[in-house]
């Protein structure tokens, strides 16, 4: 009884985060970050109290989460000067260090990280993500389903807001969001690319539940109520799906639109054969695919215009990538320290690149620059854990629980693909939703799911 109450408390906490964090400029405010930390501590306290998460997630995932939390702390280890100066890339800062000690009479704290306090920030940022993932593995199927529905509703709200911005960017009604609404359809997010990520990772879930509801034959009611309930559920999911799909397209994010198409290509064939018979599901999938193609053709017009006006080969990202690779070579294999990219990049930024660069627009290169070979290990371990998540589902029944897990897995894949060209994981709201999907995806199947195959 006590365990069930604690699960509902965690469900409410996560649900409130889903509602509040995206509205607060996608979590990029001090208030939202403070709220995330407080919520994370509560979630960790509750999950640590009942310890049920240990039986719901594989041990390698726990190793990964432990390394994610420990890594920033490792970079806070103090080093003597003679050791510190031998680390790769540190000689670049020798003149500054001498000035601090000789002229300013300041004795700097020499840690593995070039900027130690940034490692503290990275550690604090990781706590909510691990807490949410672990909390999701302890919730029952009903509680996880409620959070999935809320996840889709929040995505739908952002999509509607983005469409309003697209149609009337200067409307007085939109000024409360606190974002630059006169520039693009971005909802309450920092920019349209990061909103597009949210739309894209929500699409598989909306598609999966829509097709699942179409294939339902029974419910808790019988007769007429069953049919009405099924139709209402299907129409609700279909409405959410179409709004999120349109919102993704009209963000006019080039990578976002391409990943939307990828989401449709991957998701529809995955779910359709298992829901309501192959023939019926195939017809539904064809209708959805045709409608999506029409919407894409409409939405692609402004995106194609962006390709024409600015060729992808001239995109500043490629120069960022080249400079980041140069920095990686200088600081490898130790790295410069977690969350130090912004300051480190300035030492490599060419004069002609007249922009303030705060991220590499490639989360993988940025991670390797900051923590070196350990970043490669973490990425490899994360990939293995991701594959193990798919393997764990093998042989389970195609019920709503598996639909949600498969959709979460596809959403994670789309997120990882977008991270090649964006720094979307640095948006707290998107990172929170990624942790949510990870919690859904990594929860081990129950005995009942395995026994009914």
- Residues 59-68 pLDDT 10s: 999 999 999 9
DSSP state of 404: H
What would the mean pLDDT of 182-198 be, rounded to a whole number? 82
Among residues 399, 445, 408, the alpha carbon closest in space to that of 212 is found at 399
pLDDT attached to residue 268:
81
What's the first-to-final CA gap in the chain, in angstroms?
30
Has residue 442 got a pLDDT over 90? yes
pLDDT attached to residue 220:
46
Among residues 164, 281, 139, the alpha carbon closest in space to that of 213 is found at 281
Using the Cα atoms of residue 61, residue 66, residue 71 and residue 72 in order, give the sign of their dihedral.
positive
What would the mean pLDDT of 53-61 be, rounded to a whole number? 82
- Residues 344-385 pLDDT 10s: 998 888 877 777 888 888 999 999 999 999 999 999 999 999
Does the pTM surpass 0.75? The reply is yes
d(CA 410, CA 422): 18
pLDDT attached to residue 294:
56
């Amino acid at each position: 009884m006590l365990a069930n109450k604690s699960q509902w408390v965690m469900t409410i906490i996560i649900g409130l985060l889903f509602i509040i964090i995206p509205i607060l400029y996608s979590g990029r405010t001090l208030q939202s970050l403070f709220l995330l930390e407080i919520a994370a501590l509560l979630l960790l306290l509750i999950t640590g109290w009942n310890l049920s998460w240990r039986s719901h997630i594989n041990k390698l995932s726990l190793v990964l989460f432990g390394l994610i939390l420990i890594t920033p702390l490792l970079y806070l280890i103090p080093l003597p000067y003679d050791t510190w100066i031998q680390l790769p890339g540190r000689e670049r800062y020798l003149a500054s260090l001498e000035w601090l000690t000789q002229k300013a009479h300041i004795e700097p704290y020499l840690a593995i990280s070039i900027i130690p306090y940034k490692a503290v920030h990275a550690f604090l940022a990781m706590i909510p993500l691990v807490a949410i993932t672990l909390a999701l593995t302890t919730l029952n199927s009903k509680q996880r389903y409620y959070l999935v529905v809320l996840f889709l509703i929040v995505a739908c709200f952002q999509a509607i807001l983005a469409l309003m911005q697209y149609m009337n960017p200067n409307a007085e009604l939109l000024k409360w969001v606190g974002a630059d609404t006169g520039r693009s359809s971005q909802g309450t997010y920092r920019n349209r690319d990061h909103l597009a990520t949210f739309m894209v990772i929500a699409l598989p879930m909306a598609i999966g539940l829509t097709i699942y509801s179409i294939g339902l034959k029974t419910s808790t009611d019988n007769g007429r109520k069953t049919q009405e309930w099924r139709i209402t559920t299907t129409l609700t999911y279909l409405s959410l799906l179409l709004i999120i799909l349109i919102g993704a397209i009209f963000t006019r994010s080039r990578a976002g639109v391409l990943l939307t198409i990828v989401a449709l290509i991957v998701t529809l064939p995955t779910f359709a054969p298992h829901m309501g018979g192959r023939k019926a599901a195939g017809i539904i999938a064809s209708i959805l695919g045709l409608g999506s193609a029409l919407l894409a053709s409409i939405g692609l017009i402004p995106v194609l215009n962006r390709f024409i006006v600015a060729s992808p080969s001239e995109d500043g990202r490629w120069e960022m990538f080249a400079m980041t690779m140069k920095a990686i070579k200088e600081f490898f294999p130790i790295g410069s320290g977690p969350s130090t990219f912004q300051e480190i990049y300035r030492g490599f930024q060419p004069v002609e690149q007249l922009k303030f660069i705060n991220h590499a627009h490639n989360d993988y290169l940025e991670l390797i620059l900051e923590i070196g070979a350990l970043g490669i290990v973490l990425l490899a371990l994360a990939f293995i854990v991701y594959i193990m998540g798919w393997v764990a589902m093998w042989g389970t029944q195609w019920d709503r629980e598996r639909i949600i897990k498969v959709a979460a897995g596809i959403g994670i894949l789309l997120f990882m693909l977008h991270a090649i060209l964006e720094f979307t994981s640095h948006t707290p709201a998107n990172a929170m939703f990624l942790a949510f999907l990870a919690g859904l995806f990594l929860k081990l199947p129950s005995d009942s799911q395995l026994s009914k195959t």
